[in-house]
A and B are shown apart, each in its own frame.
Chain A
Amino acid sequence: MFYVYLVILAVVLALTVWVLFDTKKLSLQITAAMVIVPLLLRLLMIK
C-alpha cells in the first residue's frame, strides 16, 4: 500500500507542477509551489 500511495502522490504532484507551469495567475503559481514542497519531500521519502 505504501508504494501505491507514493504513486497517487506522484500523480498529484505531477498535476500540480503542470498547473504551475500552465497557469498565467501568479497567485496560483505561488500556491502550487507551496503545495509542491511537502509532496516532493514525501515522494523522495525524506519526511
Chain B
Amino acid sequence: MQKHRITAIVCFAGALVASALAGASFLSMRKPDLIVRGPGVTEKKMLSEWFSGLKGTAGDTEVYVMRGSDDGASMLILGGTHPNEPAGHLAAILFIENVVPRTGTLYVIPRANASGFTANDPQEGAPQRFTIQTPNGPRVFSYGSRATNPIHQWPDPNVYIHASSGQTLSGSETRNLNRGYPGRPDGTLTEKVCYGIVQLIRQQKVTITVDLHEASPEYPVINAIVAHPKAMQLASDTVLGLEMQDIKISLEPSPVNLRGLSHRELGDFTDTLPVLMETANASQGRLRGRTDEALVLTGKDKWYVRAAKLGRLYVPYDEHGHPLEERVGRHVTAISELMNSWNLEHPEMPLEVEGVPDYEGLLTKGVGAYLLPPK
C-alpha cells in the first residue's frame, strides 16, 4: 500500500477514536437528573399536557403540581430556564422535595429548558455535572448550556428576530428560552416551550410566576428581583421583607424595550404577576479563572476577587466566593418572602406552604441536607 494511504487510514482512525471518546462523553448528558417526589407533590405532569405540540420533543419537561388542601392563590416556579445557572435549578428542586402547600397550588418546572441540560456551551469549558453530598450519599446534577441544544434546534439564523415585537438579537439567542416569550405554537422548539409555559399560566390562572436565574458577577442586574410593572408592589414588599432578614437585594423594573423576557412578556400576555430573580454565579462569567465543579459549588475565584478590588463587579466578592448554598438560599428565601408579601395583601386568597428550607439552615448545613434519599 502507498505510504499516503496508510497515513490517511491512521488519521481517519484517529478521527473516529476521538469522535467515539468525545461522543460517549456527550451522550452521557442525555440522562435526566434524579428528582425525588417530595411529600407535597400531588401530581407529576408534562408541559405537553398544556400544549400538545411539545409531546415527544426534547422540549417537553416535567411539571410538578403541589396542591394544598384548601383553595388559594397559585405560583409557578421556573428553574433551569438557563441550565448553566444551577442555583435556580436547585432552588426549584428544593421546593419539590421539601415544601408542602396548605392553601393554594404550586407548579414547579425544575428543567424549564430540558434540552439545554443535555449539552454544554462550546468554548465555555464548563463541567458536565456537579455532585452534592447528602446524608444519604452523593446526588449528581447536570450543568447544562445556556440555550437549547443545537441538535434539537439548528441552524441558528444570522439574526434572531423576536416574533411578536420584531426586535433583533444575535442569532444564537434564537435558542435562549428567556428571549422567546410569549412563544409561538408553530415556532422553533424554544418558542414552543415558551408557548407551553404561557398556556400553563393561562389555563391554570397562575397568580404569580417566578423565573429563577443567576448572572455573572460583572453583570449590572445581579442579586436582584426584576419585576413587571404590575408585580412591582409585590416585589417591593418582598425586597423590604428580605432586607429585614439582612438579605440585600435590589429591585429593577422590567425594561419596556427589551423583549422576549419572562418578566416582560408574561406580564403583558397573561394575567400572572411575573418576577425574575438573579444571584451571583462565577461559573458563567467572563472573568472567571479555572472552570470546574468546585467553582460551581463554591464560587471561589481569585480573578473575581481581583476584579472586585478593581471596582469592576456589581456584587461584593472576596475569598469566600458565593457558594451554591448561599445562592440557592437567596432564591428559596425570596420566594418564601414573595408568598408572605402576597398573603399580607390578599388574605382572602392566600398561598401558604410549609417546609421551606430556611436561609441560615442552608448556609450551615448545605443544600445536601434538604435533598431526599432516592426512593
- Chains A and B are bound partners: yes
Which A residues form the contact surface with B (CB < 8 A)? 1-2, 5, 17, 20-21, 23-24, 26, 29-30, 32-34, 36-37, 40-42, 44-47
Flag if B12 contacts A36 (CB, 8 Å). yes
Flag if A47 contacts B154 (CB, 8 Å). no
Cβ < 8 Å to A, chain B residues 92-108: none
- Complex CA gap A42/B12 in Å reads 17
Most chain A beta-carbon contacts within 10 A, residue among B11, B16, B154: B11
Most chain B beta-carbon contacts within 10 A, residue among A17, A29, A42, A44: A29
Secondary structure at chain B's binding surface: helix, strand, loop or mixed?
helix
Indicate which residue in A23, A24, A47 contacts B119 across the interface (CB closer than 8 Å). A47
Flag if B15 contacts A37 (CB, 8 Å). yes
Flag if A40 contacts B119 (CB, 8 Å). no
Indicate which residue in A17, A33, A46 contacts B14 across the interface (CB closer than 8 Å). A33
Flag if B23 contacts A33 (CB, 8 Å). no
Q: Within 8 Å of chain A (Cβ to Cβ): is B320? A: no
- Complex CA gap A41/B158 in Å reads 23
Flag if A36 contacts B15 (CB, 8 Å). yes
Q: Which residues of B contact A20 (CB under 8 A)?
A: 8, 11-12
Most chain B beta-carbon contacts within 10 A, residue among A26, A32, A34, A46: A46
Minimum C-beta distance from A32 to chain B (A): 7
Subset of 20 A-B contacts with CB under 8 Å:
A2-B153, A2-B155, A5-B155, A17-B12, A20-B8, A29-B7, A29-B8, A32-B11, A33-B11, A33-B12, A36-B12, A36-B19, A37-B19, A41-B19, A41-B22, A41-B23, A42-B150, A42-B151, A47-B23, A47-B119
Which B residues form the contact surface with A (CB < 8 A)? 4-5, 7-8, 11-12, 14-16, 18-19, 22-23, 26-27, 119, 150-151, 153-155
Find the B residue at minimum CB distance from A5. B155
Q: Which residues of B contact A30 (CB under 8 A)?
A: 11
Find the A residue at minimum CB distance from B189. A2
Flag if B5 contacts A21 (CB, 8 Å). yes
- Complex CA gap A41/B27 in Å reads 11
- Complex CA gap A21/B4 in Å reads 8
- The answer to whether residues A47 and B26 also contact, given A20-B8, A23-B4, A24-B4 and a CB cut-off of 8 A, is yes
- Complex CA gap A46/B14 in Å reads 18
Minimum C-beta distance from A9 to chain B (A): 9
Q: Which residues of A contact B16 (CB under 8 A)?
A: 40
Find the A residue at minimum CB distance from B26. A47
- The answer to whether residues A40 and B4 also contact, given A46-B151, A47-B23 and a CB cut-off of 8 A, is no
Minimum C-beta distance from B147 to chain A (A): 14
Flag if A46 contacts B15 (CB, 8 Å). no
- Complex CA gap A36/B14 in Å reads 10
Flag if A1 contacts B155 (CB, 8 Å). yes
Indicate which residue in B7, B8, B12, B26 contacts A46 across the interface (CB closer than 8 Å). B26
Minimum C-beta distance from A12 to chain B (A): 13
Flag if A44 contacts B155 (CB, 8 Å). no
Flag if B154 contacts A2 (CB, 8 Å). yes
- Complex CA gap A40/B13 in Å reads 13
Q: Which residues of B contact A42 (CB under 8 A)?
A: 150-151
Minimum C-beta distance from A11 to chain B (A): 15
- Complex CA gap A20/B4 in Å reads 9
Flag if B11 contacts A37 (CB, 8 Å). no
Q: Which residues of B contact A29 (CB under 8 A)?
A: 4, 7-8, 11
Q: Which 6 A-B pairs have the closest CB atoms?
A: A33-B11, A33-B15, A36-B15, A24-B4, A29-B11, A47-B26
Minimum C-beta distance from A22 to chain B (A): 8
Indicate which residue in B19, B26, B151 contacts A40 across the interface (CB closer than 8 Å). B19
Indicate which residue in A5, A32, A37, A41 contacts B154 across the interface (CB closer than 8 Å). A5
- Complex CA gap A23/B14 in Å reads 17
Q: Which residues of B contact A37 (CB under 8 A)?
A: 15, 18-19, 22
